[in-house]
Structure 1
Amino acid sequence: MVVIRLSLAKSALKVLANSLFKSLVINHFFHFFSFDAMIFNKPQTNEIAL
């Protein structure tokens, strides 16, 4: 029982870390995109970023 619970906890932790990493990467990508739009000052991309 303890071993099963431990493996379940491990897999849950893996999934949690995976989703967290994905959200971090997506956030970073969007921040970079808005920064890019600010540098090049494209009105369309700026509207999307804002």
Structure 2
Amino acid sequence: MEAYTALRHFADSWALLGMTLFFLGVVLFTLRPGSKSHANEAAQIPLKED
């Protein structure tokens, strides 16, 4: 039961902090200046005819 307690404590503290930082990084990365043109280009990919 000791391993379960240690893993539970890790998940409740450091893993949650890591996931939060990862989420904020992704959000900030998509909102950076200059990303709108890349997003618009990616949005038009399905509509392009080759």
TM-score (norm 1): 0.51
Structure having greater relative contact order (Cα 8 Å, sep ≥ 6): 1
> Moved runs in structure 1, 4+ residues, more than 6 A?
none
Q: How many residues align?
A: 37
Aligned to 1:14: 14
Gaps in structure 1 of 5+ consecutive residues: none
Q: Please, what is the CA RMSD of the aligned residues?
A: 2.4
| Structure (1/2) with the larger helix percentage | 1
Distance change in 2, residues 1:36/1:21 (3 Å): same
Gaps in structure 2 of 5+ consecutive residues: 44-50
